[in-house]
Structure 1
Amino acid sequence: MAQSHILQVVNGDGEFNEDGVQSFIRQHSISDAGVGYQVVAITGPQSSGKSTLMNAVFGSTFEEMDAMSGRRQTTKGIWLALGQKIQEPRTLLLDLEGSDGRERGEDDNSFERQSSLFALAVADVLLVNMWAKDVGREAGAGKPLLKTIFQVNLKLFTPAPNKRRTVLLFVFRDRTRTPLARLIETWEEDLRQMWASITKPPDYEGCDITDFFEMVYSSLPNFEEKEEDFRAESVLLRRRFTDENEDTLVRVSRDKLPGDALALSLQKVWEVIRDQKDLNLPAHKVMVANIRCAEIMEEQLRCLAEDQAWASLRQESEKGLVPNFGSRAGALLDSCITGYEQEARYFEEGVRHVKQDELVERAQALLHGAFSQQLVHLRRNILQQLDADMVSRDPSETFAASAARCQARAVSGFQEGLQSIAVKGASWDLQQPVSDAALEIDAHINKLRAQKLSEVEQDGRKGLSSSVGGPAGSLLDSCPADLWPRLRRLLSASVSKACKKAEDDLAGYEVPEADREALMKRLGSFAQAKVEAAAHEAANTALPRMKERFAEVFSKDETGMMRSWGPRANIPAANQKAREAAAQLLAQLAVIRLDAKQDNGISVVDAAVMEQASDKAASSSQDSITSADTAASSTSAFDMVAASEWPDLPADVVLLTPAQCRMLWRQFSSDSVYAVQQAQATQEANRAATNRWPPFWAIAAMVLLGFDEFIAVLYNPLWLLLGLVIFLFGKTVYQELDVDTEMQRGMLPGAMALSAKFVPVVQQVSRKTLEAVKEFVADPKALTDKVQEKVAHVGASVREHVAPDSHSATAGTSSRAGALSEVRQRRPAGEVELTDQHSST
């Protein structure tokens, strides 16, 4: 469009363009239109899209804001244009400078009031452009501006009620999901409250806003996001400014001036508005007071910040507690306020006091940083003194009593120190620092109590480590039959002792009962964990322990002496006893038994493990190694072979599962067979050595050399009887002494053992011989029968070992050699064969 279709009516300085308006009216034939024209004006916040709306609805060419160059003032002053898209009636458009613009500042709002009142006075339809989201707000909706122009409009132009009502078209831009009806309801309520709050001339006291204005509403979508919808609805809005639409906004009034007087009317209206002083707010005196008092305030704050005394005080505050901080800071604050009062005393009182309050607030904020540092230093000093008082307290005084006394002293000291650093005249809350300090002091006392609690717990753990760990390890190494009862007693006694010591150490500390019980529980858990750790370690070495226990029981008798596998030694019994001892050890290491309530499940473990060491299992283990698995199939209710876990026992008490027990027993059975075979071979060798007869030449020599003595004994029955008695007595003593077994230990140990047993054995045999003589005297026939029976038994033994033919000696020697050879094959290389010793003998 040509530039002639747009004109600046009033510039930014408020100067009316009289010649330009008259020329515009003539150029566009408004002066010839009579009353067939309408004036449409628009008002609203700056950069809210007023020009864009007017251009879209009426086809004007008002300058629009370029969003890419930033949000700034586009329309300055008041502009006039002709609506190109509406032919009838002729439509004049007034585009006003936006309100609330940053270019004019927050205090220069007189022009926006003047221009809005101008539009309200001359326009037939006034579009109030506002954001939909601002409905319900005070300043955002422009309510202060509307209130002012309503009030001044009644005062200046005294409109007649219900005579010529200006149409107020409120256009809600960028509508939201809130229904239009709800927006209208809220806005009309605001308008009624606004109209009721303005000061009206006496003639208008009973009038309502609808007596002077006709409220119409519309809404549009966001121009940038929905431009097509915006332009489509703009077309619909344009139709309402024609006579053809049912809800037209065109109003015919008989009081309307003809077009040839419009230019003069606009000029006079603007002159009246410009001369109205009520619109020049704020007043000059107030404005000057605001500016000068603000300058004085900033100057005083700058002087305070650059003051050398303040800089020195701030540096001292950073280093430590300043005793006279409060008085020095208060003097600086008083000097700042006094300087302000002296310079601002000539300005408006209300503004002066407001700025003075702001000065005090900002000056206190400047000093508050150093004051906060002083509070930190003060609290630190108080806590250090509290620690010193607690360390130097009377040993006879309990911790709780000392803590209460020192805590009260610390709080009192903090309050005294706070008074010395408090800044006089400052409106700071001094009760909160006292409360915070009291809480911090109490927390410090609790920290000292917690440290003592931790020390007592550490001491208790150390004591339990020595009193439980060592003895428990020793008991698990020896694994006595009453292992777990003894461990339970050890654990209970140690924990009781540790808890008693902890109670004594915490006496006077007033430890809460919950913390005390938690400590005792932790000590008990620690001690139990020590025992369980030792038990786990023992279970991990169960196999060597079982071998050691088997070897100990199998190779030693009841007195602890080493067994000698003589002809009369009962190897199966010793083997069975040793296997039972090993099984008992395995059963003890299978399950943790610190809880006596689990006896039912533990008895199943004992029965299942001990059944592996039964006679049937022992005998079958000597035949083959694999038979140990079949021996594990128990006849009891619990089948250990098929089971994967122990019944009725939680997993945390199980050290060895049934599968692990079976595996250990298999390995143990395999390793223990060799010891039994060695013992059997040794016994066979000893038996062969005991049954060896003298060589034939020795027997012949004894017969030839002892023939005379033999004949003498035969011819003298008394000698025969005496020899028989001596022979029997000597044989009995020999057997009771077990000479063969004792001599197998070695010459010197055997001789010492025989010498120690000789006198008691001779006494015992002599006593039995005398008893036999007495029985013979009392009943000769009974004794004779016993002797005959004994002689027959001896004869049978002789016949068993001496063959009747000439090859008996050779056969006996061959059989003994075969036995010795078998023993040599069974024993490992490098070992000294006892059979070789007998052979060499």
Structure 2
Amino acid sequence: MMSFGIPRKTMFMFVIHDNSKTPFQHWHPGLRKFILNVLFSKALEEIWNGVPKPQAYKSTRFSDFFSEEVVVMSSYEEKEKFKEEVAQLRQRFSHSISPGGFAGGDRRGVVPASGFSFSAQQIWKVIKDNKDLDLHAHKVMVATVRCEEIANQKFNQLINDGGWLALKEAVQTGPVQGFGKRLSSIVGTYLSEYDIEAIYFDEGARNSKRQLLESKALDFVYPTYTTMLGHVRSKALEDFKVRLEESLNKREGFTSSVRTCTQSSMLEFDEGCADAAIQQANWDSSRVRKKLQRDIDAYASSVCSAKLSKLNGNYETQLSASLTGPVEALLETGGKDTWASIRKLLNHETEFTISKFSAAVADFVLDKETIAQLLQHLRDYSRNVVEKIAREEATKIMIHMKDRFFTVFNYNSDSMPRVWTEKVDIRSITKDARSASMKLLAVMAAIRLDEKPDNIEKVLFSTLMDGIVSVSSSQDRRIGASADPLASSTWEEVSLENTLITPVQCKSLWVEFKIETEYSVIEAISVQEAYKRSNNWLPPPWAIMVMVVHGFNQFMLLLK
């Protein structure tokens, strides 16, 4: 049986030992030609024609697959020359694949010495199993096995390399300058050693195993590379935070600061990636870069939120400070235009604060919807401040009513203390003082920030000042309850959330108020009565005139 497809011709060498002293080159040319062409070439061609061949190779010639060479040695009688020729022939055998060797520099099919033992074993195994030998397939098999052994050896050397282990340990603690160059050198060293040791094996098998070695080595070092990229990303992010804080501390604009610091950090990351890249791989760092961009955006967003929150808090504080005192004073005054004044104050302070706030947030480059939400928040906050103050003051309404009553009752329009002489109309003063307290109660009964009209003051005056507060009999209570506008928990035209003091609470407060202020009225009346009695010890005016004209003694005689 025969195998075909061998990559180069097989040489047949015929060595003629010339025993005579006539060298072969001195033979007659015709005789030399006859020996070479007839005895060898034709004989070999006839043998080839008689060998069974596949149908595709029926017309092939012996010279298509084989070449022949005749070597004539000198006579042994010339020992020195003979030994020299033998040495030269041995060299041709030893260096058959070198230029001048039998293969003429053709290295195809060469089996290096390191693979000869395995090659010989496999040759014999194939011969025994198949009774044939395909040298090309055998060469590929030997190259595959041997190149894989070399690749495994180089990979094992790589994972135990001292330089690699030191580099790997250093990366665990932080970024390493020149990481890419160092790792490229380590990996390149073992790939080069593989190339040197596998150079004589089949090119296809050699390249295939080299690719596998390179892929395996790159997969092995890739986790360390990703760790390095993680350090580069972390450092770029931390530097972004530091730069942004420094820029904001210099009172630079927020948006421009974020943009400048982002560009610097992304450039720093790109340079770090370039330093970490290795020659043997074209690893994509875009995923880590995108993560860095997301981290930067998230941090910038958090800083923006914190800055806006702080800014918003500052303006809330300003609003609270500008509203609290004036609103409290207006509510304590309890005048006719109290809520109109509060609305005017609220609108002025809110718009003034919003104007300054809008200018402050202009550099944040916010969308219109976000800005509108922030401004509406300030409007809601200012309204809530007023409502909160009103609710707090409503809980102290009894104190305010009594203070108002005693102010009006005990002091005249010039803020001078009253003297309860007989000419002072205590009843009228009491009515005025109670009326002032009633107006204050009406003002504090509800929140009026929406300019909606109501009849609270009218109802209170008509019911508590002009009407009867309590009803005695049960039947009268039923009639009174149905007719009493204060027998309710809500005011007409006033929502529940805007109600501070319900009608029934107003009624209860008024009863308590009258009880607590009644003593002052009674005391004033008592003082006035005492003043009148003290004035009764004096004689009448006509008697005083008599005493002036006639003297006291004459006046006493007249009385007798």
1:539 Cα shift? 1.2
User: 1:654 aligned to 2:499?
Assistant: yes
Match for residue 220 of structure 2 among 359, 362, 366:
366
State the distance in 2 between where 1:288 and 1:658 align: 108
Instruction: Provide the secondary structure at the position in 2 that maps to 1:559.
Output: coil
Residues 525-550 of structure 1: per-residue CA shift (max 9 Å, x gap) = 22222222222211111112211111
Aligned counterpart, 1:493: 348
Aligned counterpart, 2:271: 416
Aligned counterpart, 2:415: 560
**Contact kept in structure 2, 1:616 and 1:631, CA below 8 Å:** no
Structure 2 gap ranges (5+): 1-128, 132-136
Distance 1:418 1:475, change over 3 A: same
Residues 637-677 of structure 1: per-residue CA shift (max 9 Å, x gap) = xx533322233433322222223222222211222222222
**Contact kept in structure 2, 1:583 and 1:612, CA below 8 Å:** no
Number of aligned residue pairs: 418
Instruction: Provide the secondary structure at the position in 2 that maps to 1:508.
Output: helix
Distance 1:660 1:581, change over 3 A: same
Residues 758-777 of structure 1: per-residue CA shift (max 9 Å, x gap) = xxxxxxxxxxxxxxxxxxxx
Match for residue 381 of structure 1 among 235, 244, 247:
235
The equivalences for 1:721-736 within 5 A come to none
Residues 359-395 of structure 1: per-residue CA shift (max 9 Å, x gap) = 4444333323332233233233334444455435896
State the distance in 2 between where 1:650 and 1:302 align: 84
State the distance in 2 between where 1:661 and 1:296 align: 102
User: 1:640 aligned to 2:485?
Assistant: yes
Match for residue 673 of structure 1 among 512, 518, 523:
518
User: 1:609 aligned to 2:460?
Assistant: yes
Distance 1:681 1:310, change over 3 A: same
The equivalences for 1:452-601 within 5 A come to 452-596=307-451, 599-600=452-453
Counterpart amino acid of residue 556 in structure 1: Y
**Greater alpha carbon shift after TM alignment, 459-468 vs 409-418:** 409-418
User: 1:324 aligned to 2:169?
Assistant: no
Counterpart amino acid of residue 232 in structure 2: L
Residues 70-116 of structure 1: per-residue CA shift (max 9 Å, x gap) = xxxxxxxxxxxxxxxxxxxxxxxxxxxxxxxxxxxxxxxxxxxxxxx
State the distance in 1 between where 2:522 and 2:381 align: 47
Distance 1:382 1:707, change over 3 A: closer
Instruction: Provide the secondary structure at the position in 1 that maps to 2:217.
Output: helix
Distance 1:403 1:692, change over 3 A: same
Distance 1:677 1:312, change over 3 A: same
Distance 1:465 1:295, change over 3 A: farther
User: 1:687 aligned to 2:519?
Assistant: no
State the distance in 2 between where 1:631 and 1:681 align: 38
State the distance in 1 between where 2:159 and 2:212 align: 16
Q: Which has the higher helix share?
A: 2
User: 1:309 aligned to 2:163?
Assistant: yes
Residues 568-604 of structure 1: per-residue CA shift (max 9 Å, x gap) = 22222222222221122122222122222xx13xx13
**Contact kept in structure 2, 1:469 and 1:531, CA below 8 Å:** yes
**Contact kept in structure 2, 1:550 and 1:579, CA below 8 Å:** yes
Distance 1:518 1:562, change over 3 A: same
**Contact kept in structure 2, 1:449 and 1:511, CA below 8 Å:** no
Distance 1:316 1:552, change over 3 A: same
**Contact kept in structure 1, 2:180 and 2:275, CA below 8 Å:** yes
Counterpart amino acid of residue 665 in structure 1: W
Distance 1:413 1:708, change over 3 A: closer
Counterpart amino acid of residue 519 in structure 2: Y
RMSD of aligned residue pairs (Cα, Å):
4.1
Distance 1:485 1:288, change over 3 A: farther
Residues 766-822 of structure 1: per-residue CA shift (max 9 Å, x gap) = xxxxxxxxxxxxxxxxxxxxxxxxxxxxxxxxxxxxxxx99xxxxxxxxxxxxxxxx
Counterpart amino acid of residue 503 in structure 2: P
Instruction: Provide the secondary structure at the position in 1 that maps to 2:318.
Output: helix
**Contact kept in structure 1, 2:547 and 2:554, CA below 8 Å:** no
Distance 1:546 1:396, change over 3 A: closer
Instruction: Provide the secondary structure at the position in 1 that maps to 2:272.
Output: helix
Aligned counterpart, 2:25: none
Distance 1:634 1:556, change over 3 A: farther
Instruction: Provide the secondary structure at the position in 2 that maps to 1:562.
Output: coil
State the distance in 2 between where 1:403 and 1:414 align: 16
Counterpart amino acid of residue 224 in structure 2: A
**Contact kept in structure 2, 1:643 and 1:659, CA below 8 Å:** yes
% same residue: 31
TM-score, normalised relative to structure 1: 0.44
1:325 Cα shift? 0.9
Structure 1 gap ranges (5+): 1-274, 278-282, 711-804, 807-841
Distance 1:411 1:293, change over 3 A: same
State the distance in 2 between where 1:287 and 1:648 align: 101
State the distance in 2 between where 1:659 and 1:295 align: 101
Greater RCO, 1 or 2 (C-alpha within 8 Å, sep 6+): 2
1:493 Cα shift? 2.2
State the distance in 2 between where 1:550 and 1:632 align: 28
1:346 Cα shift? 7.3
Counterpart amino acid of residue 462 in structure 2: E
**Contact kept in structure 1, 2:420 and 2:528, CA below 8 Å:** yes
State the distance in 2 between where 1:651 and 1:349 align: 93
**Contact kept in structure 1, 2:233 and 2:288, CA below 8 Å:** no
State the distance in 1 between where 2:480 and 2:276 align: 87
Aligned counterpart, 1:714: none
Counterpart amino acid of residue 510 in structure 2: W
State the distance in 1 between where 2:191 and 2:228 align: 23
Counterpart amino acid of residue 222 in structure 2: H
**Contact kept in structure 1, 2:464 and 2:510, CA below 8 Å:** no
**Contact kept in structure 1, 2:247 and 2:257, CA below 8 Å:** no
Distance 1:614 1:317, change over 3 A: same
State the distance in 2 between where 1:362 and 1:468 align: 73
1:464 Cα shift? 1.9
Counterpart amino acid of residue 421 in structure 2: G
State the distance in 2 between where 1:315 and 1:587 align: 81
Instruction: Provide the secondary structure at the position in 2 that maps to 1:641.
Output: coil
**Contact kept in structure 2, 1:317 and 1:373, CA below 8 Å:** yes
Counterpart amino acid of residue 456 in structure 2: V
